[in-house]
Amino acid sequence: MPYVLGIDIASTRTTAATCVNSGDGWGVPEPSWLGARGPSAASAVFLDDDGYLLTGDAAVEAGLSAPARLLTGFHERVGDDVPVIVDGERFPAESLSAVLVDAAVDQAAERFGEKPRRVVLTHPVGWGSYRRDLLRRALAEAGFPRAALVPAPVAALHAYLAPRGDVTAGVCEFGPDGAVVTIAAAGVNGWQPVKTVEGVDPGEAVGKVFELAHGAGIPPQALAGIVLCGEAPPVAGRTPCPVFASSDPVLTVATGAANIAARRDVPRPGGPRSTAVETVETTLLPRVDALEELTERPERPPVDITPFPLPERTGAAKLLSRRKPIVAGAAVVVLAATTLFLTLTTREATADKGPEAPPATSSSCAPSSPGVAPTSPEGRC
Min mean pLDDT across 259-268, 307-316, 326-335 is at 326-335
pLDDT at 192: 92
d(CA 216, CA 197): 14
Give the count of beta carbons closer than 10 Å to the beta carbon of residue 342: 13
Cα angle value 21/268/116 (rounded, 5°): 25
Tell me what the mean pLDDT of segment 197-211 comes to: 95
To the nearest 10°, the Cα dihedral for 234, 237, 243, 245?
20
Compare 124 and 379 and report the one with higher pLDDT.
124
pLDDT tens sequence across 135-150 = 999 999 999 999 999 9
pLDDT tens sequence across 68-85 = 999 999 998 999 888 888
Give the CA distances from residue 338 to residues 274, 332, 335, 342, 362, in Å, rounded to whole numbers and listed in that order. 64, 10, 5, 6, 13
pLDDT tens sequence across 285-301 = 333 344 556 666 556 55
Confidence of residue 175 (pLDDT cuts 50, 70, 90): very high
Is residue 169 classed exposed, middle or buried when 0-12, 13-18 and 19+ CB atoms within 10 A define those classes?
A: buried
